[in-house]
């Protein structure tokens, strides 16, 4: 099969396009002929590497993918070749205490396609059957692949961990980024009032089109935490989505009493000083999570398939141009999800 892979960490020039052995579906696995893959910032981080990340080379990037079943391994029931599917990139053992408690994204043997295992920038991938979800007829595989990781992550953070309720106020720190754009939609669907901080008028306007109620341009409002505080009648917001991390001091100030600050990652410096006085005096909770559970995936993708949540697509590149696609993402030029077309 054709695939994008790399033999060492580095810049875009480590990416190679070429032939790679087609995987065989093992017991309980299904072989998927991928038609669409979607890029995530994680793909760039995995390529660049971080201390402790050990990959089996050559490594194939990509967490998100959708396609058609090509073959079914032994001990698989309920799936047949030709069915259209989207992949949940979270791999779990199904038997550890976390899996049994329904939090399979905390699995003792947790893995992620494109990070701990080879991913979706390829013509084929073999995955456990339980990681597949059928895509309804007529629904675009590119939209399915683009929605998967970001909406899954947004749903788990806001709904499962953040316990977001209708009528609450939500502040999203950053108007770009697939997870933040998914969070705007999940928050609006939940009946929340949404504030978005952004630095780019185009991305703020996209946030508005996704349903954001209040837009704050931080290139004009340098003290945005005070702006939010004043905009909420000095009450502060109930829930803050902060996937920057270096902005925790501002987020803590913008939070109201009992506020929950949610994070699923850090686009800024991960090491940040926090002022503990805000935490206890305002009864704040700082709540982390990563990806989502099996049940969350089914719930949130059902909402995507029914049109209640809509992934925004940016541009589509052929598989062999994955490097150009990654460069666009690295430069932050995208206005939605970038996908790869695999034929
Ligand atoms: Zn487990």
DSSP strand pairing (16-19 vs 2-5):
antiparallel
Total domains, the chain: 2
| Whether residues 309 and 271 fall in one domain | no
Cα(53) to centroid of ligand 1, in Å?
A: 20
**Average pLDDT of span 75-95:** 97
Cα(75) to centroid of ligand 1, in Å?
A: 20
**Average pLDDT of span 165-174:** 97
pLDDT score, position 69: 98
CATH code for the domain in which residue 213 is found = 3.40.50.720
**Average pLDDT of span 139-159:** 98
Q: Is the pLDDT of residue 32 over 90?
A: yes
pLDDT score, position 223: 94
Cα(109) to centroid of ligand 1, in Å?
A: 6
Q: Is the pLDDT of residue 82 over 90?
A: yes
Cα(47) to centroid of ligand 1, in Å?
A: 26
Radius of gyration of the chain (CA): 20
Domain extent for 179:
163-288
Average pLDDT value over all residues in the chain:
97
Cα(5) to centroid of ligand 1, in Å?
A: 28
| Whether residues 245 and 271 fall in one domain | yes
Unique residue bearing structure tokens 């990139």: 89
Alpha carbon dihedral 96, 157, 286, 253, in 10-degree steps, equals 170
**Average pLDDT of span 113-127:** 98
Query: Is 12 a domain residue?
Result: yes
- Assign 321 a pLDDT band (cuts: 50, 70, 90): very high
- Assign 294 a pLDDT band (cuts: 50, 70, 90): very high
Q: Is the pLDDT of residue 176 over 90?
A: no
For 203, the enclosing helix (H) or strand (E) is helix 201-209
CA 219/CA 235 separation, integer angstroms: 24
For 188, the enclosing helix (H) or strand (E) is helix 178-189
Query: Is 155 a domain residue?
Result: no
Query: Is 158 a domain residue?
Result: no
pLDDT score, position 200: 87
State what percent of residues in the chain have pLDDT above 90. 97
Cα(217) to centroid of ligand 1, in Å?
A: 42
**Average pLDDT of span 132-147:** 98
Q: Is the pLDDT of residue 192 over 90?
A: yes
| Whether residues 30 and 144 fall in one domain | yes
CB-based contact 129:76 (threshold 8 Å): yes
Query: Is 84 a domain residue?
Result: yes
């Amino acid at each position: 099969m054709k695939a994008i892979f790399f033999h060492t960490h580095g810049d875009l020039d480590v990416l190679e396009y070429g032939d790679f052995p087609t995987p065989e579906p093992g017991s309980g696995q299904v072989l998927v002929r991928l038609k669409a893959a979607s890029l995530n910032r994680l793909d760039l981080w995995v390529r660049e590497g971080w201390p402790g990340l050990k990959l089996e080379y050559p490594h194939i990037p990509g967490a998100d993918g959708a396609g058609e079943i090509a073959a079914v391994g032994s001990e698989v029931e309920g799936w047949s070749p030709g069915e259209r599917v989207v992949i949940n990139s979270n791999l779990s053992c199904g038997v550890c205490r976390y899996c049994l408690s329904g939090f399979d994204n905390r699995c003792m043997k947790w893995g992620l396609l494109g990070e701990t295992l080879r991913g979706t920038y390829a013509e084929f991938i073999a995955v456990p059957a339980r990681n597949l979800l059928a895509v309804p007829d007529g629904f675009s595989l590119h939209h399915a692949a683009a929605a998967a990781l970001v909406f899954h992550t947004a749903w788990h953070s806001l709904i499962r961990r953040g316990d977001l309720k209708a009528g609450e106020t939500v502040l999203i720190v950053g108007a770009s980024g697939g997870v933040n754009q998914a969070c705007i939609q999940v928050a609006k669907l939940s009946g929340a009032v949404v504030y978005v901080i952004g630095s780019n008028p185009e991305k703020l306007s996209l946030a508005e089109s996704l349903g954001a109620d209040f837009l704050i341009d931080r290139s004009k409002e340098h003290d945005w935490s005070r702006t939010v505080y004043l905009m909420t009648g000095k009450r502060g917001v109930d829930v803050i989505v902060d996937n920057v991390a270096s902005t925790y001091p501002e987020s803590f100030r913008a939070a109201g009493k009992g506020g929950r600050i949610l994070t699923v990652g850090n686009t800024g410096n991960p090491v940040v000083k926090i002022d503990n006085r805000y935490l206890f005096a305002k009864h704040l909770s700082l709540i982390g999570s990563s990806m989502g559970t099996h049940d969350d995936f089914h719930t949130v993708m059902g909402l995507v398939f029914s049109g209640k949540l809509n992934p925004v697509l940016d541009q589509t590149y052929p598989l062999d141009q994955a490097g150009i696609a990654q460069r666009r993402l690295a430069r932050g030029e995208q206005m939605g999800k970038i996908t790869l077309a695999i034929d």
